[in-house]
Amino acid sequence: MAQTVEKKRKRQSDAVQTPSKKVDTGILKVTHSSTTDPNARPIIATTPGCTAPSIPFEAYRNDSSVLLHSTKHPRLDYTALPTPAKSPLTHYIAVYDPTTQTLDFTPAQHTTLRSTLRSETQQVENSNRERTIGKQREILGETFGTKKAKKAIASKTVNAITKGGNAQGKPNDVETAILGSVAEKAAHIKTEEEEAEAALAAKPIPMPNLKAERVEDVYALDILIPPSDQRLVQVKDWQDNALADIPMDFSNRMTAFRVSEIAKAGEYTKLKALGYLNALLEFHEALAPAGRGGKKVPKKEILVKKMSTYPETLIDSVRRRFAPGNELNKFQQDYLYTHICALALYIDNFTVEMSNLKDDLKLENKQLAQYFSELGCRVSPPTEKEREVWKMTKAMASATKVAKLKLPLEFPRARAGRRSEDEIVTMITRKPFTLLLLSVLRPSSLRYGSVYHFRATQPCAAGEPVCRTLLM
C-alpha cells in the first residue's frame, strides 16, 4: 500500500510582507552639459598628503588647463596643478534635482593640490645661487689664484663648515626652531653667579653676601647669630664689671683679651657677638672625642652644668643648630669652626690675629687658616706695622698668621683630580694616515660650545705604532 508524502510548507513570517513588485518612482532624466568654454567648467582637486585649507585661491588658465595658487596661509603656499592631458580618465560632476527628476553630468577639470613651505622655497633658491657663485670663485682661485689664495681654498675645503640661512646670516625657520628649543633648555641652566652661590651653599660655612659692597655686609650679624639667640645673650654683667674694673674669669683667651675693651667702648652689638662666641667656645670645649674623628655631645645635664652662665634655652638652641644628633661629624665640626671664625672677624673688625683662637680651638695654624680661607679671607704673616701695634717680636711674628676679610672675596678653588692621559693628549687622524699629537695646557678649563685652536707638537709618520707625548 503506497504511502502519501505530505509537502512541506514554508513557515509564515511575522514581519511585514513587502510587495513582490518594485514601486514605480517615475522616469529619471539624464542630461549631459557639454560646454566649449573652459572657464565655465568646475574644478576638482585631490589632496594627497595634505588637508585642503579654507582659503581663497587664484586661478590661472591657458587654452586647455587651469592652475590654482594661494598665498593666504601664513606659512604655506598651496598650488593645484592640472592632470596631464594624456591621462585616460575624464572627470564629471553629477547634479541631481529631485523636483524635476533630472541628473545632470557636467565635465570637470581635475587638479592635484600640493603645499610647500614658503620660506623653504626662497632659502633653496638663495642657497643655490650663493653656492653657484662661491663655486665659481673657488674655481677661479684654484686656476689663477696665488699660492696664498690656493692654500686658503684648500684649508676651507678641509675644514668646511656649512653655512645655513640666507646671505645676511639670518637664521632660517629650522634654525629658529632649534634655537627656540635650546633657549627653553638653557633657561634652566644656572649662570656662573648662581653656580657660585650653589657651591657656597653646599659648603659648611655661613652663607656670604656675594653682592655686598662693604666688607661689613658680607657676613651680617643676623646670619651669624639668629635673632632669637641674640635676645638670650645677656652681657649686662660684663658691662658693669668692665666699667668697675672688676676682673672676670674665662676659660678661653679669645673672650678674656677683648671683653673689657669692647665693654668700655660701649659697642653693645660686638659685646653680644662676643657673648655668643664665648658660648660656642664653651660648647666646643664640652665636646668629647668620638670615633672616626667625630665629636660626641655630652648629656644635657652635663652640658648645662658646663655652660652654667647661659640660659638653658640658648644652650638647647646651640645644640640643635650645630649638633642635631648626639655626635658631630666632620661636616658639622667644620660648620661650627667656620662660624667661630666668622664671629671673630666681626669682633676684630675683620682682621684677626689667629694665635688666641688657635689655642682655644687646639688647632694648627694651617688648619685654622684653611677655615678662614673658606670664608673668603686672605691669610698672611703680620706686617711690620701690625707687629709694632701688637708688640710682637720677630720670632713671635714668624709663628703668627693674620686673617683679613677684604673685597673682592677670594674663595679657594676646587682641587682638580689627577688628569688622565686621555684628558691631556688628543690625537687627530687626517689623510694620508698622519697622526697629529696635540696637547692641552689645562683640559679642566675646556667648556662645551666653545671653539679652541690647538697646535701640533709632533707629527707622527704613517705606520708608526707609538707617538711620544710632548707637553706644552
Specify the pLDDT at position 346.
Answer: 94
42 or 357, higher pLDDT? 357
Percent of the chain beyond pLDDT 90?
29
Closest listed residue to residue 229, CA positions, set 352, 343, 345: 343
DSSP-derived secondary structure for 317-332: HHHHHH-SSSEE-HHH
As a whole number of angstroms, the distance between CA 196 and CA 208 comes to 11
* Residue written as grid cell 513582490: 20
Cis ω before 84 (30° cut-off from 0): no
The number of residues in the chain equals 472
As a whole number of angstroms, the distance between CA 237 and CA 258 comes to 15
CA–centroid distance for 390 within its chain = 50
Closest listed residue to residue 410, CA positions, set 386, 379, 442: 379
- On the CB side of 285, CA atoms within 13 Å amount to 17
As a whole number of angstroms, the distance between CA 392 and CA 44 comes to 105
As a whole number of angstroms, the distance between CA 77 and CA 122 comes to 12
Is residue 403 pLDDT above 80, yes or no?
yes
Is residue 344 pLDDT above 60, yes or no?
yes
- Would you say 471 and 439 are in contact if contact means Cβ atoms under 8 Å apart? yes
Write out pLDDT tens, residues 38-83.
666 788 888 887 777 888 888 887 777 788 888 888 778 888 888 7
Specify the pLDDT at position 75.
Answer: 77
Torsion of CA 134, 140, 146, 150, to 10 degrees: 50
Is residue 428 pLDDT above 50, yes or no?
no
Cell numbers of 309, please?
652662665
Sequence-ordered list of residues with C-beta below 8 angstroms from that of 212, at least 6 positions apart, any chain:
218, 407
Q: Model confidence at 352, in pLDDT bands (50, 70, 90)?
A: very high
Is residue 219 pLDDT above 90, yes or no?
yes
Average pLDDT, the chain: 77
Triad 156, 161, 163: Cα angle to 5°: 120
Indicate the DSSP class of residue 438: E
Q: How far apart are the first and last CA of the chain?
A: 129
